Structure 1
Amino acid sequence: MAKTIRIGTRDSELALWQANMVQKKLTNLGYDTKLVPVKSTGDLVLDTPLYELGITGIFTKTLDVAMLNGEVDIAVHSMKDVPTALPKGIVEATVLERANVQDILVHKGLGFLEADGVIATGSLRRKAQWLHKYPKHDVVDLRGNVNTRMQKLTDNHWNGAIFAAAGLERINLKPENYITLDWMIPAPAQGAMLVVAKEEDMFCLEALANLNHEASEICVHIEREFLRELEGGCTAPIGALAQIVENTIQFKGALFSLDGKHKIEISEEVSIDDAASFGKRCAQKVLNNGGRELMKEIKLNLK
């Protein structure tokens, strides 16, 4: 029997844009849908850095609870916000075609790059990579949805702030005064959207299977496998990017110390036929190259 698919989403402009995109795709396939916006803990608590909240999945937990309580049928997420281990009973239903993977710097002029500067970001990954390249700069915490963060940049005397290009592009918020940080390794699954559903909900799982983009799914799963093997959760300074070039998967990953001084990087490629456990194998090489000790140090400093 057909049913109305209730789509759970955060209530920020970007999250609603993503949920609306999924809704349109399902509607075009003939499904009845309804958006159910909720506010997450990550949106409500803006005065504490994410890593200090001590919760993995801070932006997804509220939607997980709503789904398990039967209030929504599916949930749409920015995949980079989703913990590598999903709650029991919830499964990945579809990965949509990936958008721009890169980070960008929205700035007020670039003269500061070779002098003193203050950059804003709420991401340990971005902070560590920025300090690795610009060790004399200060990095301040920046929280909130993309609209809030853009306004905070305007209101403060910072030189710039780092954003995911995809988020700003999706809601037409990318300004002219930006540069692409092509040297910065993105977060695992950055630019990808994930839709989850309950494991036993075959109606929704079959509906969402129609939206899956296989190449994007392969790449983000390699990146998240790399993250999971390093035991980074959503907080450690870990970057990962897998890309398919013809029949080859090219992978680049890195683990940084919190202050950006230490970097353990890996660059590997493999045939697409040998993609199974590729992310795990890359992570093991990082762990065996000093990463195990670095992860212990990071966890100790984040307690």
Structure 2
Amino acid sequence: MKKTLRIGTRDSELALWQANRVKEGLESLEYQAEIVPVKSHGDLVLDKPLYEMGITGIFTKALDIAMIRGEIDIAVHSMKDVPTALPRGIVQGAVLKRADASDLLIHKGDLAFLDEAGTVATGSLRRRAQWLHRYPEHSVENLRGNINTRMRKLQNSSWNGAIFAAAGLERISPFEGTDIDPGNRITLDWMVPAPAQGAMLAVAMEHDDYGRQALDRLNHRDTEICTHVERQFLRVLEGGCTAPIGAKACLENDDIVFNGILLSPDGKRKHSVQKRAPLKQYTVLGEQCALEILKNGGKETLEHIRQYQDQRPGTTASS
């Protein structure tokens, strides 16, 4: 018996774009689907960086609750926002083919600041730490909100630039209404992205065979493998999705190539690992790389991160 699959999503432009790609994919397979927008707490509180809010999975909790209550059948997320442990009863249904996982610097046309004092903006602790590691004389300001809001804040500020995910800028066009040239961008190929950045995740209830079978037909196996390695690396480091941890896995022929990084929030401490392994080892590669980081000084840096978070009002060591 066919039923209409209710797809839950945040109501930002980017989130709706993602949910509609899942809807289109399901409809192309002759399933019936509809979009159900759900407001998240992360969309409502815009005056604090995520790492100061003390909540893991802030953009996913509202959808988790709606799913458990039976208000939606499927939830669609930016995979990098999803905690490594899903709530009981909710399971991974499909990882869609990944878009560009890079970080981009959007600037105002003058790059002289890269060689002198400058100011960039980001709400990501990972981006902040990597930028300060490379440009220790710079200032990094907090920048929150959806992509359109952040672009307007950049235009109306004295900042030299701001850092965005390339995938988000591919999916929507936030330059409209600003005087920032869309060409004023630099791919930060030296910056390691967040685990699963650029990938979309659709989840369903474990007992919902119909929804799970539908999503399984949308799954992109190569992206699923790479994001598994990246998220396993994150899970073992116990960093949560707001810690200064980056990870990127790529498939090259019959191998998987991994690059992982852990930094202190101020960017002064940096631990990195690069490995190439046979593809059949992907189930353990992320853990092996994380353990190598921990063995080579990462434990001390993680303790430093916890102390940093404990000093901020309303945060917890696990944020």
Percent of residue pairs identical:
61
**Superposition map of 1:47-66 within 5 A:** 47-66=47-66
Tell me the distance in 2 between the aligned counterparts of 1:151 and 1:199: 41
How much does 1:276 deviate? 1.9
Name the residue aligned to 1:136. Answer: 137
Name the residue aligned to 1:154. Answer: 155
How much does 1:280 deviate? 0.3
Please state if 1:287 is matched with 2:294.
Answer: yes
- Which letter does structure 2 place at the counterpart of 1:237? P
Which stretch has the larger CA shift, 215-224 or 270-279? Answer: 270-279
Which stretch has the larger CA shift, 272-281 or 185-194? Answer: 272-281
Name the residue aligned to 1:44. Answer: 44
Name the residue aligned to 1:4. Answer: 4
Name the residue aligned to 1:112. Answer: 113
- Which letter does structure 2 place at the counterpart of 1:80? K
Tell me the distance in 2 between the aligned counterparts of 1:274 and 1:11: 38
Name the residue aligned to 1:163. Answer: 164
How much does 1:48 deviate? 1.3
After superposition, give the CA deviation of every residue in 1:159-186 in whole Å (9 maximum; x if it has no partner): 0000000001111347211000000000
Q: Give 1:247's match in structure 2, choosing from 233, 248, 254.
A: 254
- Which letter does structure 2 place at the counterpart of 1:53? M
Structure 2 residue matching 1:172: 3-state secondary structure? coil
- Which letter does structure 2 place at the counterpart of 1:135? P
Name the residue aligned to 2:268. Answer: 261
Name the residue aligned to 1:172. Answer: 173
After superposition, give the CA deviation of every residue in 1:49-90 in whole Å (9 maximum; x if it has no partner): 111111100000000000001110000000000000111110
Name the residue aligned to 2:203. Answer: 196
- Which letter does structure 1 place at the counterpart of 2:136? P
Q: TM-score, normalised by structure 2?
A: 0.94
Tell me the distance in 1 between the aligned counterparts of 2:271 and 2:297: 7
- Which letter does structure 2 place at the counterpart of 1:167? G
Name the residue aligned to 1:20. Answer: 20
After superposition, give the CA deviation of every residue in 1:261-298 in whole Å (9 maximum; x if it has no partner): 11000000100012221100000000000001110110
Name the residue aligned to 2:304. Answer: 297
Tell me the distance in 2 between the aligned counterparts of 1:10 and 1:198: 18
How much does 1:2 deviate? 1.1
- Which letter does structure 1 place at the counterpart of 2:15? A
- Structure 2 residues without counterparts, runs of 5 or longer: 176-181, 311-319
Structure 2 residue matching 1:276: 3-state secondary structure? helix
Name the residue aligned to 2:280. Answer: 273
**Superposition map of 1:189-228 within 5 A:** 189-228=196-235
Tell me the distance in 2 between the aligned counterparts of 1:172 and 1:159: 20
Name the residue aligned to 1:85. Answer: 85
Tell me the distance in 2 between the aligned counterparts of 1:42 and 1:27: 30
Q: TM-score, normalised by structure 1?
A: 0.99
After superposition, give the CA deviation of every residue in 1:210-260 in whole Å (9 maximum; x if it has no partner): 000000000001000000000000111000000000001000000001100
Tell me the distance in 2 between the aligned counterparts of 1:51 and 1:274: 33
Structure 1 residue matching 2:18: 3-state secondary structure? helix
How much does 1:34 deviate? 0.8
Tell me the distance in 2 between the aligned counterparts of 1:219 and 1:156: 37
Tell me the distance in 1 between the aligned counterparts of 2:11 and 2:282: 36
Name the residue aligned to 2:315. Answer: none
- Which letter does structure 1 place at the counterpart of 2:240? G
- Structure 1 residues without counterparts, runs of 5 or longer: none
Tell me the distance in 1 between the aligned counterparts of 2:138 and 2:48: 21
Structure 1 residue matching 2:283: 3-state secondary structure? coil
Following TM superposition, the consecutive aligned residue runs of length 4 or more in structure 1 with deviations greater than 6 angstroms are none
Tell me the distance in 2 between the aligned counterparts of 1:145 and 1:90: 26
Name the residue aligned to 1:102. Answer: 102
Contact 2:228-2:283 within 8 A present in 1 as well:
no
Over the aligned positions, Cα root-mean-square deviation in angstroms equals 0.7
Which stretch has the larger CA shift, 117-126 or 171-180? Answer: 171-180
Name the residue aligned to 2:29. Answer: 29
Tell me the distance in 2 between the aligned counterparts of 1:276 and 1:71: 34
Please state if 1:125 is matched with 2:126.
Answer: yes
